[in-house]
């Protein structure tokens, strides 16, 4: 007599079929290699930020401020104190207040909460692809259905195609600028034309994780555009330009009604005390941190120029990374880079993303990338 198989606890189909988020490879302990896999800034926190973290460590026996009140106030003050200018030169009329800001455990968690605030099971989320790897995951976890729209051959988002993909089931559209992993930004005229086509009851999320690295003068101004469109939400992070990837701090800027809904879906105490303290301290020394960003941008410029000299035709790199569209050769080429001492991020069958790091890392990458060019 065979034993009957005991029933198992069912897993949600959407969860059982989730694509795995593949993190960038880490440098093995004791190995000599440059880690260019995760778009991290290559500099440690400033001494004043480290001191703030150390001081905050004395209080980790206590729960953090649940809504990161002081941090949210500091972010709002930063965005309101130095208004950006629109392409016409007009000062941005939209003034950010603390009620417009929601902080979370990195921009991915913030995006997850935004989706949870507006999506019901079966609702559609239009998104570019290839784009940020977490998008299809957070959409599925929120109960939505992802509608991917291919990016153009030059790595730019195809906003007309994304607008055409919006249906009466669409609740959210994700716009990544600069697009990760390909690199180009969305221009202001493109975003304006796109928003003119999207219904007002469809939420548009502008993911600006790399906004501090952008030098394209035509880039869309998120805050200025938000002043004209009530259905626009901005998502930003302290992980990249501010160098706090290990502490996980991100935030959304939204209209007060939407911000309240996102706050309601957020994980209680989602931003830990060390992270809050580090982010506040980073805003206090933002000028010094942005000098580091300028060094990264300068190294990106050097890297791209030398790659062009090698014969590469790359998408416009406006983040702190470059994109090689290597297709089926991506995994093999990434293995070659690893063997040479440079860890890069392959996307199987599509391409390789390489973060901008130290000049020595760039020099080593160039020795490897010369061998990736197709033979003529």
- Evaluate whether residue 243 is within a structural domain: yes
Would you state the structure tokens that stand for residue 307, as one six-digit string? 């790659």
Quickly tell me which residue has 């791209």 as its tokens: 304
Residue 7 is predicted with a pLDDT of 80
CA separation, residue 208 to residues 21, 179, 220, 239, 308 (Å): 20, 9, 10, 12, 27
For 33, phi and psi rounded to 5 degrees? -155, 150
What is the per-residue pLDDT across 241-283, written as a single tens digit (0 to 9) for each?
A: 999 999 999 999 999 999 999 999 999 999 999 999 999 999 9
Give the pLDDT of residue 87. 43
Whether residue 375 is contained in a domain is answered as no
The mean pLDDT value for 31-55 works out to: 92
> For residue 12, what pLDDT is reported?
78
Please give the pLDDT value at position 15: 77
* Cα distance between residue 331 and residue 138, in whole Å: 26
Query: Is 8 a member of any domain?
Result: no
So what's the pLDDT on residue 356? Answer: 98
- Residues 257, 358 within the same domain: no
Residues 34 and 54 in one domain: no
Burial of 369 from C-beta contacts in 10 A (0-12 / 13-18 / 19+): buried
Q: What pLDDT score does 276 carry?
A: 98
Q: pLDDT at residue 91 above 50?
A: no
Residues written for the chain: 376
Closest CA to 258 of 233, 236, 237, 235: 233
What is the pLDDT, as a whole number, of residue 85? 47
233 and 271: one domain? yes
Q: What is the DSSP letter of 325?
A: -
Q: What SS3 class is residue 54? A: helix
How far is C-alpha 230 from the chain's CA centre?
Answer: 22
Average pLDDT over residues 72-93: 69
CATH number of the domain where residue 51 is located: 3.40.640.10
Instruction: Tell me if 83 is assigned to some domain.
Output: yes
Domain of 315 in residue numbering reads as 13-45+287-369
Q: Is residue 159 over pLDDT 50?
A: yes
Pairing of strands 124-129, 170-176: parallel
Q: How confident is the model over 274-318, as pLDDT tens digits?
A: 999 999 999 999 999 999 999 999 999 999 999 999 999 999 999
For the stretch 191-205, pLDDT in tens is 999 999 999 999 999
Percent helix, percent strand, percent coil in the chain, to nearest 5: 40, 15, 45
Contact between 15 and 141 under an 8 Å Cβ cutoff? The reply is yes
| Percent of the chain at pLDDT exceeding 70 | 92
**pLDDT over 90 (residue 5):** no
Out of 285, 310, 325, a domain closes at 285
Separation CA 332–CA 318 (nearest Å): 26
Domain count, the chain: 2
185 has a pLDDT exceeding 50: yes
Q: Is the pLDDT of residue 344 over 80?
A: yes
Q: What is the pTM of this model?
A: 0.92
Residue 85, SS3 per DSSP = strand
Q: Does the residue 150 lie in any domain? A: yes
Do residues 324 and 354 touch, judged by C-beta distance below 8 A? Answer: yes
Tell whether 39 is covered by a domain: yes
The predicted structure's pLDDT at residue 29 = 42
Q: Tell me, yes or no, whether 306 and 280 share the same domain.
A: no
**Alpha-carbon gap, residue 14 to 142, rounded angstroms:** 9
pLDDT band of residue 26 (cuts 50, 70, 90) is: low
CA distance 284 to 278: 10
Supply the pLDDT for residue 96: 94
Radius of gyration of the chain (CA): 21
Assign 30 a pLDDT band (cuts: 50, 70, 90): very low
More confident residue, 82 or 127: 127
To the nearest 10°, the Cα dihedral for 319, 320, 326, 331? -130
For tokens 């901005």, the residue is: 234
Answer yes or no: are the C-beta atoms of 106 and 249 closer than 8 Å. yes
Q: Would the CA dihedral through 9, 12, 13, 18 be positive or negative? A: negative
Q: Is residue 319 part of a domain?
A: yes
User: Both 278 and 301 in a single domain?
Assistant: no
């Amino acid at each position: 007599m065979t034993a009957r198989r005991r029933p198992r606890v069912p897993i949600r189909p959407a969860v059982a079929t989730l694509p795995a988020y593949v993190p960038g490879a880490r440098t093995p302990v004791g190995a000599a290699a440059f880690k260019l896999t995760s778009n991290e800034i290559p500099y440690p926190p400033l001494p004043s930020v480290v001191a703030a973290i150390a001081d905050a460590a004395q209080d980790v026996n206590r729960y953090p401020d649940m809504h990161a009140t002081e941090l949210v106030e500091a972010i709002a003050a930063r965005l309101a104190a130095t208004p950006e200018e629109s392409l016409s030169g007009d000062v941005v009329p939209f003034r950010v207040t603390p009620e417009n800001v929601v902080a979370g455990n990195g921009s991915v968690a913030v995006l997850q909460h935004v989706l949870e605030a507006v999506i019901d099971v079966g609702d559609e989320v239009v998104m570019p692809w290839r784009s940020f790897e977490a998008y299809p995951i957070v959409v599925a976890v929120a109960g939505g259905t992802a509608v991917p729209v291919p990016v153009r051959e030059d790595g730019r988002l195809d906003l007309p195609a994304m607008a055409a993909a919006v249906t009466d089931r669409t609740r959210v559209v994700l716009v990544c600028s600069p697009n990760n992993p390909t690199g180009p930004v969305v221009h202001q005229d493109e975003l304006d034309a796109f928003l003119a086509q999207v219904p007002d009851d469809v939420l548009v999320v502008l993911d600006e994780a790399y906004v501090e690295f952008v030098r394209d003068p035509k880039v869309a101004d998120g805050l200025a555009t938000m002043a004209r469109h009530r259905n626009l939400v901005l998502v930003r992070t302290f992980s990249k330009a501010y160098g706090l990837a290990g502490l996980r701090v991100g935030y959304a800027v939204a209209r007060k009604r939407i911000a309240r809904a996102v706050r309601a879906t957020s994980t209680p105490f989602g931003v830990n005390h060390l992270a809050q303290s580090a982010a506040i301290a980073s805003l206090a020394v933002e000028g010094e941190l942005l000098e580091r960003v300028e060094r990264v941008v300068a190294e990106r410029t050097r890297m791209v120029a030398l790659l062009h000299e090698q014969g590469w035709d790359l998408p416009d790199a406006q983040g702190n990374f470059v994109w090689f569209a290597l297709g089926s050769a991506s995994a093999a080429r990434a293995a070659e880079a690893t063997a040479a001492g440079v860890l890069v991020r392959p996307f199987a069958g599509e391409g390789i993303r390489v973060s901008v790091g130290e000049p020595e890392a760039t020099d080593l990458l160039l020795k490897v990338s010369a061998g990736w060019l197709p033979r003529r």
